[in-house]
Structure 1
């Protein structure tokens, strides 16, 4: 592996950073720091085409009906779980689309207003259309003790004018007698800038789609919330279906995040508890030429579909959005006019069926407004035949509620993983007779132009990252514990046909909770409360940051030992994941950082290995397939230990999928582009390798050797040699 010298941020390599008495020529202080920069499920192939479809994830659920069943207060399970935490000053609700977050907020807000002494509740949403989610609800009809009522003038999402012009309305609300206001993020930001934090004292600020917030100082809403938290006079309820951002920025500063009580309701709990929806497929599809020529290979006119066409600034776009819509309509069938009442396009398929298609792309005066109004008509919400296909550009994503959607078809990679998760959420509503839903991402193949190839590679990597993340969030939750002689079976967990076996690393599954319990030899348990919280609730967020790291996914896919490359699995699982943990959770001590790293990589790799085990067994359906896949992998190894897990490349399975979808020439093109960007060893990486070498010496009584048969031992020896060389060069000027 090529090695190059890299200095600290100030340009100097300090003796105290690279010296230790325990490793020849290195100083002990080096290990203390130095400069760090903050910067039952069935996973199977979803084959659409022999070469162009990338099989990704197909998920089969149990349909036990629990997530849609209400208690005596009219609360579904997620809402009941959130309401139990209603007394918290700062509450974070992490729950997937369609799980009922808006109504959960209504229950909590009413309690805070009537029983906890707060004077106002301000509901803040990212865009006007989402304001409809907080319209009046007769909650007493279902058993609650109060109704949710928003005076029409205080739902500012429905008021005319620009966001900045509604600041005076916010002032009037704060000074008046009414208690509930709904506005956009933008309106709240303007009001905060005008009136300051003190104007909101003793108010509840509820932020929907909380992933729009960022700890970055340039994020105004994030800075304003930080100021409110510092003042300590408001209550905050934050709600999101994806507590991570596409730019991998932290949503909250660690010191602020620690103040929040978190309620987590997983995708598995939500979808496994549906009554109707049984299966969710996620895949991506490569096309060449114009996407409209290939769209019918993935578009089934008999499925209720939202088509998101590409941004006019993207390489997939023809730069004429109107003609693209016309081409899609022509591919579907014969245009027969426009419905006078709704503005929907009427298209007859070759099979003779007349489809009603909502065009949200044409923004000519009055046209789109009429279509939007027709889609929002509450009288048509439960009418499956109201509309068949929606074509959108920048709309019908976050917060858009069409329960009948069976297929979210997106052309071109979107801006972030967060947006992909939100788009998938459009198809995951439960509706009578709707047994299957799917998401398809159409991506342009590389062409002969080198620049276009690079762009295509980036899109492909992002699509794979989205797939890896969705595999993680759609599966049951992992609960890991170290293997120990005193371990016993936990009530409620099924350990397989042979039951709990004290001499083995056991795999238990609790169907009701949707939780695995897996014993791993050598696993470092989290010690602090914060580390325990992260391991229980934040592993998906950690994995999202890992798979979004461009260098990580490039090296993992195209330079790993599965393709004869130089990148070791431990370069990814230990080095890259370790750096992400340190950057994300700097307040944790080294032992807790290592524990979080082990838990995150175990969750990612066990998901990938379970998928591989399912595919090897050629299982294609059944809500217990993923559980069986995890058990099959655990039984296939002599002992499930953390060293074994660290030796698994998390991207090897993704590469095997990609290799089936691209022809050999294009695959070589991609590999060549990645290979041209060889990453040299950095000072931080060498420092971490030297730390691992010290641990190696403590365990085995010797330093790692350059001539060792084990490649990871050789890599640690490289780190020691790198640091020793830095020390010598420093000494000699």
Structure 2
């Protein structure tokens, strides 16, 4: 049986310096301390990866608001009941804090029997009581606000965990209640999330509302770089043919602690019999030895004679699953590595699920959103003794001969590539872009590499303490308003997410060999910025666009340097000329003895390899060029041709809106060059702008002639 075909994706090596898990005198880890410093803010947004300690950070903040800021009560709102256990009693004073976190048993409604709608009266009883903390689900909270109104929440803290469930869409009830609370302006809100973006590409908050939040950002880079044990994170995508359960052992290593998510029953990867799929996986692993009477775990004897303890969360028989779930949540076994070996799940064991020993998150079938992928990856990124490597694997079905199946497979492939591009961005150090001028100076705390800061050229600095990369770029527009500055400082990853989730953008970037990169970097990203931030003036919109494109293209260009050559090489610009380059698994770290420097070195080499590092050059790089190179090593030439034909069939002629965007760019071109773009220009971007102007002129003439 042939092994599944791999898309090599991301392999990141970290310093393992222990800083992110080291507590201060109050018992706070660095992320928690950073959030606690902002505890006086009425509206606080904490963006921090899974396992960074958001739950405990909220405990510190809530206790201060209740004791020192005059708030009456705190209501903790979580998306599902299982996450409620993250907010149970904690003896914080044991580690140096001035109070303990205590939730009376009757007020953790995640543990109460019955449906969410039936718990609404309990919320009212809590509000009328003298107790301080309530924990409930998003659904219970929504029902309670619908019944009692937001007025009953005055002078209280509302903490919303997994805040990406909120949406600016008016139909999103939780988002609507958050807006009502902010309009009344008498409650405090702490919003927490490990992925501040949504699978449907909707904005989490309206920009006007988001601007009222003080943001605390703790990056994946800071989190993983500061772990004590975990050093390497690998992310890969694999395509298989036939039934996944026949090939599962090609990617499932029984010796690794694994969470295996089988496909949704409605997906093409599913056999439509989820229970039989689990049975088949158990058979592939070894000989079934029965069920543990205490935990409900399945016991399987492997070929080497060892016994695997497997938790089946797919069988939804309440008697079986409740016992397994209770065994997984048993605090007595939280630090017992041998308690369970493999967890098989379908809709469970995702966000908020805490199993520190997980080394491999293996997911069959593409999931509904990038948010879900980030959450699943987060199950494997906990730090634990002896756990030096973790990985995420997505197993995806290859297409069969029918065009319908091919089209569906193409969509899954595009989503997998989008997730890979996003994770490269999420896992990279944080970018700070600065315009280069004659007065530019080095910034204290940044290492500018061998030879130090050079005032005659664009410099790349790195601050190992904060995980920030500072990059000087000629011609870079500076954001003027505080809101634009905040977006460039805090939201570049969210903009990259919107960009790679935009299907027409990624389709054209990957499979249209004639695409002009500026159509993607200027027009498509420009449109996304205009839609997401309509209240910014055009100058700030352009500044934000430039910063977002710089962020994605610096990671891609650094990756090209790392992958294609150990020596600095001039980047290919102006189209798709880098396609077909020799491609290996991406490695942002070069291992011992100097871990996690490859991306930094790659960015520096890219900056040094060009005569002038300017914004025009960055706009001329196709952000999807390297992704195509990886894909071309994975898919056959025939399959690539099929895909390109499917994309070409959906290609449409220039629209009025696109022509107007091109005309705006043409006007800027005239301001800079003193002439309009030419239809006969050699430069493809100048020619494309001229085509936009000509298109509008023809439309105007047709209307006059009508």
TM-score, with length taken from structure 2: 0.95
Q: State which of 172, 183, 187 in structure 1 corresponds to 2:140.
A: 187
Q: State which of 365, 379, 383 in structure 2 corresponds to 1:426.
A: 379
SS at 1:285 equivalent: strand
Q: State which of 696, 699, 702 in structure 2 corresponds to 1:726.
A: 699
d(CA) in 2 for partners of 1:351 and 1:629? 44
Question: Could you tell me how far 1:638 is from its partner in structure 2?
Answer: 1.2
Any idea what the Cα deviations from partners look like across 1:546-575, whole Å, max 9, x if unmatched? Answer: 00000000000000xxxxx22111010001
Match in the other structure for 1:579: 527
Question: Could you tell me how far 1:478 is from its partner in structure 2?
Answer: 0.5
d(CA) in 2 for partners of 1:413 and 1:90? 35
Match in the other structure for 1:588: 536
d(CA) in 2 for partners of 1:127 and 1:288? 35
Map 1:200-219 → 2, pairs under 5 A: 200-219=153-172
d(CA) in 2 for partners of 1:163 and 1:381? 28
Q: State which of 637, 653, 673 in structure 2 corresponds to 1:664.
A: 637
Question: Could you tell me how far 1:50 is from its partner in structure 2?
Answer: 8.3
Contact 1:606–1:630 (CA under 8 A) maintained in structure 2: yes
d(CA) in 1 for partners of 2:565 and 2:597? 13
Contact 1:51–1:660 (CA under 8 A) maintained in structure 2: no
Contact 2:4–2:240 (CA under 8 A) maintained in structure 1: no
SS at 2:650 equivalent: coil
d(CA) in 2 for partners of 1:623 and 1:261? 30
Match in the other structure for 1:59: 12
Contact 2:258–2:342 (CA under 8 A) maintained in structure 1: yes
Map 1:275-294 → 2, pairs under 5 A: 275-294=228-247
Q: State which of 598, 601, 616 in structure 1 corresponds to 2:564.
A: 616
Any idea what the Cα deviations from partners look like across 1:334-372, whole Å, max 9, x if unmatched? Answer: 111111111111111112221111000111240111110
Contact 1:51–1:663 (CA under 8 A) maintained in structure 2: no
Contact 1:53–1:283 (CA under 8 A) maintained in structure 2: yes
Match in the other structure for 1:256: 209
Contact 1:356–1:389 (CA under 8 A) maintained in structure 2: yes
d(CA) in 2 for partners of 1:50 and 1:601? 37
d(CA) in 1 for partners of 2:3 and 2:339? 35
d(CA) in 2 for partners of 1:363 and 1:580? 42
State yes or no: 1:646 paired with 2:646: no
SS at 1:680 equivalent: coil
Contact 1:94–1:264 (CA under 8 A) maintained in structure 2: yes
Deviates more, 1:661-670 or 1:208-217: 661-670
Match in the other structure for 1:717: 690
Question: Could you tell me how far 1:51 is from its partner in structure 2?
Answer: 7.4
Contact 1:246–1:419 (CA under 8 A) maintained in structure 2: yes
Contact 1:305–1:409 (CA under 8 A) maintained in structure 2: yes
Map 1:66-105 → 2, pairs under 5 A: 66-105=19-58
Map 1:493-504 → 2, pairs under 5 A: 493-504=446-457
State yes or no: 1:266 paired with 2:219: yes
Question: Could you tell me how far 1:522 is from its partner in structure 2?
Answer: 0.4
SS at 1:239 equivalent: strand
Match in the other structure for 1:694: 667
d(CA) in 1 for partners of 2:698 and 2:367? 44
Question: Could you tell me how far 1:161 is from its partner in structure 2?
Answer: 0.3
Q: State which of 557, 565, 568 in structure 1 corresponds to 2:516.
A: 568
Any idea what the Cα deviations from partners look like across 1:472-528, whole Å, max 9, x if unmatched? Answer: 000100100001111111111111111111111111111111010100010001111
Any idea what the Cα deviations from partners look like across 1:622-678, whole Å, max 9, x if unmatched? Answer: 311111111111111111110000000000100111111112222211111111111
Question: Could you tell me how far 1:463 is from its partner in structure 2?
Answer: 0.8
Distance 1:270 1:324, change over 3 A: same
State yes or no: 1:508 paired with 2:461: yes
Question: Could you tell me how far 1:178 is from its partner in structure 2?
Answer: 0.4
Match in the other structure for 2:325: 372
Match in the other structure for 1:354: 307
d(CA) in 2 for partners of 1:50 and 1:158? 44
Q: State which of 603, 623, 631 in structure 2 corresponds to 1:630.
A: 603
SS at 1:574 equivalent: helix
Any idea what the Cα deviations from partners look like across 1:690-729, whole Å, max 9, x if unmatched? Answer: 1111111111111100001100000010011011112112
Map 1:390-429 → 2, pairs under 5 A: 390-429=343-382
SS at 1:59 equivalent: strand
Match in the other structure for 1:36: none
d(CA) in 1 for partners of 2:181 and 2:51? 29
Question: Could you tell me how far 1:151 is from its partner in structure 2?
Answer: 0.1
Deviates more, 1:663-672 or 1:189-198: 663-672
SS at 1:351 equivalent: coil
Q: State which of 470, 486, 496 in structure 1 corresponds to 2:423.
A: 470
Unaligned runs of 5+ in 1: 1-48, 560-564
Any idea what the Cα deviations from partners look like across 1:3-36, whole Å, max 9, x if unmatched? Answer: xxxxxxxxxxxxxxxxxxxxxxxxxxxxxxxxxx
Match in the other structure for 1:130: 83
State yes or no: 1:221 paired with 2:169: no
Contact 1:51–1:661 (CA under 8 A) maintained in structure 2: no
d(CA) in 1 for partners of 2:361 and 2:349? 10
Distance 1:51 1:419, change over 3 A: closer
d(CA) in 2 for partners of 1:287 and 1:603? 33
RMSD of aligned C-alpha atoms? 1.0
Match in the other structure for 1:320: 273
d(CA) in 1 for partners of 2:365 and 2:516? 32
Contact 2:476–2:543 (CA under 8 A) maintained in structure 1: yes
Match in the other structure for 2:680: 707
Contact 1:56–1:283 (CA under 8 A) maintained in structure 2: yes
Question: Could you tell me how far 1:617 is from its partner in structure 2?
Answer: 3.4
Q: State which of 630, 649, 652 in structure 2 corresponds to 1:676.
A: 649
d(CA) in 2 for partners of 1:627 and 1:644? 20
Tell me the number of residue pairs that the alignment of Structure 1 and Structure 2 aligns. 680
Contact 2:4–2:250 (CA under 8 A) maintained in structure 1: no
d(CA) in 1 for partners of 2:130 and 2:421? 49
Any idea what the Cα deviations from partners look like across 1:257-284, whole Å, max 9, x if unmatched? Answer: 1110000000000000000000000010
State yes or no: 1:442 paired with 2:395: yes
Structure 1's consecutive aligned runs of 4 or more residues displaced over 3 angstroms after TM superposition are: 617-622
SS at 1:229 equivalent: helix
Q: State which of 470, 473, 491 in structure 2 corresponds to 1:517.
A: 470
d(CA) in 2 for partners of 1:306 and 1:239? 24
Question: Could you tell me how far 1:679 is from its partner in structure 2?
Answer: 2.7
Match in the other structure for 1:489: 442
SS at 2:97 equivalent: coil
Question: Could you tell me how far 1:293 is from its partner in structure 2?
Answer: 1.4
Q: State which of 433, 446, 450 in structure 2 corresponds to 1:480.
A: 433
TM-score, with length taken from structure 1: 0.92
d(CA) in 1 for partners of 2:478 and 2:100? 45
